[in-house]
């Protein structure tokens, strides 16, 4: 028998898109339901490709719901799939386990939520499939739960459904650890993994796959996001395809300014790279971070007029497309190299003093004290860790660069 199924994970329904909150109300409205639109795209894909099964490898939700309608939205979207005979088998991940309501949804009879007390198997006779899996019983599952997964059923196409960090991934908690070798030797025909938000094929025989999340949520989650479409014929996989389902895409463009000597050249480079990135997004909204780097005579102007330059780049992006947005303009440029010499001017003395502050660590120490003073005053729940980490790493260097740029601008 020939059939198709979809492997999805990490839906994080109603999770906010980070780093884009400072835009206009119109912009906020467009991105607010991006995760829902991506999920609707998943359902449309299942119907359009006549899929018989969707497996979801955890993290349907993003922790505690801000609104009960998040759960109701998911339940409502299962109904058109039921009408078309599409089965859904899913497990809860670490974010779902943190939500007391995720396991209590009133699901339609085409949806099976595998229990959390032990690994469980659901057989789908119509297509000869057995899906094995276990939901997270709590947020932190540190043991290798896949060791207890059932043996494959003979005469079935066996799918393992597992929320795991595998052997560990940067930026992800090491939940339900396991090795590729262990999974490959278990005897299943396909391992549908979740938890890691970047698509990754760990093995091809059998396929052991992280599909990535449906919708990128910040600049840390760049590129096409979606699900894996699998075609099976007589218990053999004949096609594996990644299908992009995201509606807002994040991207990073690094532009070397070393050979650029004036603003016209800089903006020509910005336009060309932004245009290319937008076209590669294939009609989706694109939030783009631009990182300028390299030694250039433009360094002083870029550093001294950062806010003005950002506004100009935003205007440039708007002229390319209304849904091309500047997520951040990162300045990593440096002044042109000059031979060491004694500068007798006032400006030279100031520059030497700034260099000395950088050498003795005084500025870093003052910054650390100030950040420690500010942190306790933040409101509860403020998502400031990334910002504080960035300030700790880059704040002092940026302050020195700006001071030197202002000195150089004053000399011009």
User: 259-298 pLDDT, tens per residue?
Assistant: 898 999 999 999 999 999 999 999 999 999 999 999 998 9
Assess whether pLDDT exceeds 70 at residue 65. Answer: no
User: 362-372 pLDDT, tens per residue?
Assistant: 666 776 777 67
Say if residue 208 is in the same domain as residue 262: no
Mean pLDDT of the residues in the chain = 86
Instruction: pLDDT band for 21, please (50, 70, 90 cuts).
Output: low
CA-to-CA separations, 378 to 149, 373, 388, in angstroms, rounded: 45, 10, 12
pLDDT at position 64 is 63
Distance CA 105, CA 93 (A): 15
Say if residue 26 is in the same domain as residue 170: yes
User: 287-346 pLDDT, tens per residue?
Assistant: 999 999 999 989 989 988 999 999 999 999 999 999 999 999 999 998 887 655 545 555
The CATH number covering residue 27 comes to: 3.60.21.10
Q: Are 163 and 176 in contact (CB under 8 A)?
A: yes
Among residues 197, 212, 244, the one where a domain terminates is 244
Say if residue 265 is in the same domain as residue 397: no
User: Domain span at residue 309?
Assistant: 248-337
Say if residue 204 is in the same domain as residue 96: yes
Which tokens hold the place of 408? Answer: 């150089």
Q: CA-CA-CA-CA torsion for 39, 43, 46, 52, nearest 10 degrees?
A: 110
pLDDT at position 95 is 82
Our CA angle for 325, 329, 334, nearest 5°, is: 155
Q: Is 173 left (phi over 0), alpha (psi -120 to 50) or beta?
A: beta
Q: Are 239 and 204 in contact (CB under 8 A)?
A: no
Say if residue 141 is in the same domain as residue 273: no
pLDDT at position 368 is 74
Distance CA 197, CA 172 (A): 9
Say if residue 37 is in the same domain as residue 147: yes
Q: Are 237 and 230 in contact (CB under 8 A)?
A: yes
Look at residues 222, 291, 280, 302 and name the one whose alpha carbon lies nearest to residue 254: 291
User: 195-207 pLDDT, tens per residue?
Assistant: 999 999 999 999 9
User: 232-242 pLDDT, tens per residue?
Assistant: 999 999 999 99
Number of structural domains found in the chain: 3
Report residue 117: phi and psi, to 5°. Answer: -80, -25
Q: Is 363 exposed, middle or buried (0-12, 13-18, 19+ CB in 10 A)?
A: middle
Residue spans of beta strands (DSSP E) within 59-206: 87-91, 111-113, 120-124, 129-133, 157-163, 190-194, 200-204
182-191, 203-212, 351-360: the lowest-pLDDT one: 351-360
pLDDT at position 300 is 87
Distance CA 210, CA 180 (A): 12
Q: Are 206 and 240 in contact (CB under 8 A)?
A: no
Assess whether pLDDT exceeds 50 at residue 94. Answer: yes
Distance CA 181, CA 44 (A): 35
289 CB-side CA count, 13 A: 18
Matching residue, tokens 């779902």: 96
Instruction: pLDDT band for 376, please (50, 70, 90 cuts).
Output: confident
Report residue 301: phi and psi, to 5°. Answer: -65, -40
Q: At a CB cut-off of 8 Å and minimum separation 6, what does 403 contact?
A: 350, 354
* DSSP per residue, 369-381: HHHHHHGGGSPTT
Report residue 268: phi and psi, to 5°. Answer: -65, -40
User: 119-176 pLDDT, tens per residue?
Assistant: 999 999 999 999 999 999 988 888 999 999 999 999 999 999 999 999 877 766 789 9
Distance CA 181, CA 27 (A): 46
Distance CA 285, CA 279 (A): 10
pLDDT at position 412 is 44
Which tokens hold the place of 70? Answer: 């998040």
Say if residue 24 is in the same domain as residue 151: yes
325 CB-side CA count, 13 A: 21
Among residues 337, 369, 397, the one where a domain terminates is 337
Assess whether pLDDT exceeds 70 at residue 74. Answer: yes
Q: Which pTM does this prediction carry?
A: 0.81
Percentage of the chain exceeding pLDDT 90: 63
pLDDT at position 404 is 54
Say if residue 311 is in the same domain as residue 366: no
Say if residue 138 is in the same domain as residue 231: yes
Among residues 309, 337, 365, the one where a domain terminates is 337
Q: Are 192 and 57 in contact (CB under 8 A)?
A: yes
Say if residue 232 is in the same domain as residue 269: no
Which tokens hold the place of 289? Answer: 């971070």
Distance CA 271, CA 259 (A): 16
Say if residue 122 is in the same domain as residue 268: no
Say if residue 98 is in the same domain as residue 142: yes
């Amino acid at each position: 028998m020939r059939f198709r199924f979809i492997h999805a994970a990490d839906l994080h329904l109603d999770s906010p898109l980070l780093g884009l909150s400072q835009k206009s109300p119109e912009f906020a409205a467009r991105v607010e339901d991006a995760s829902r639109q991506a999920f609707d795209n998943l359902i449309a894909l299942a119907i359009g490709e006549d899929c018989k099964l969707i497996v979801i490898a955890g993290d349907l939700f993003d922790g505690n719901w801000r609104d009960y309608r998040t759960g109701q939205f998911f339940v409502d979207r299962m109904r058109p799939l039921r009408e078309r005979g599409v089965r859904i088998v899913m497990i809860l991940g670490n974010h779902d386990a943190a939500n007391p309501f995720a396991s209590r949804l009133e699901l339609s009879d085409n949806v099976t939520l595998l229990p959390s007390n032990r690994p469980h198997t659901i057989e789908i006779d119509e297509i000869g499939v057995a899906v094995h899996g276990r939901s997270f019983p709590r947020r932190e599952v540190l043991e290798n739960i896949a060791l207890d997964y059932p043996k494959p059923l003979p005469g079935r196409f066996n799918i393992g459904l597992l929320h795991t960090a595998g052997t560990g991934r940067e930026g992800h908690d090491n939940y339900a650890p396991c090795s590729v070798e262990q999974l490959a030797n278990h005897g299943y025909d396909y391992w549908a993994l979740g938890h890691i938000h970047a698509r990754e094929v760990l093995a091809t025989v059998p396929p052991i796959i992280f599909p990535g999340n449906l919708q990128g949520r910040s600049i840390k989650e760049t590129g096409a996001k979606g699900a894996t479409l699998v075609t099976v014929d007589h218990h053999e996989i004949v096609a594996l395809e990644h299908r992009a389902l995201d509606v807002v895409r994040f991207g990073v463009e690094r532009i070397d300014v070393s050979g650029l000597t004036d603003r016209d050249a800089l903006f020509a480079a910005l336009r060309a790279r932004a245009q290319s990135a937008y076209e590669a997004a294939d009609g989706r909204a694109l939030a783009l971070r631009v990182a300028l780097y390299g030694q250039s005579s433009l360094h002083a102007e870029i550093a001294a007029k950062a806010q003005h330059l950002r506004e100009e780049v935003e205007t440039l992006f708007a002229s390319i497309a209304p849904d091309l947005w500047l997520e951040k303009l990162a300045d990593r440029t440096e002044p042109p190299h000059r031979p060491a010499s004694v500068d007798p001017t006032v400006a030279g003395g100031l520059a030497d003093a700034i260099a000395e502050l950088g050498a003795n660590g005084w500025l870093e120490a003052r910054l650390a004290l100030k950040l420690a003073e500010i942190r306790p005053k933040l409101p509860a729940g403020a998502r400031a860790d990334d910002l504080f980490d960035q300030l700790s790493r880059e704040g002092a260097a940026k302050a020195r660069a700006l001071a030197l740029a202002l000195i150089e601008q004053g000399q011009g």
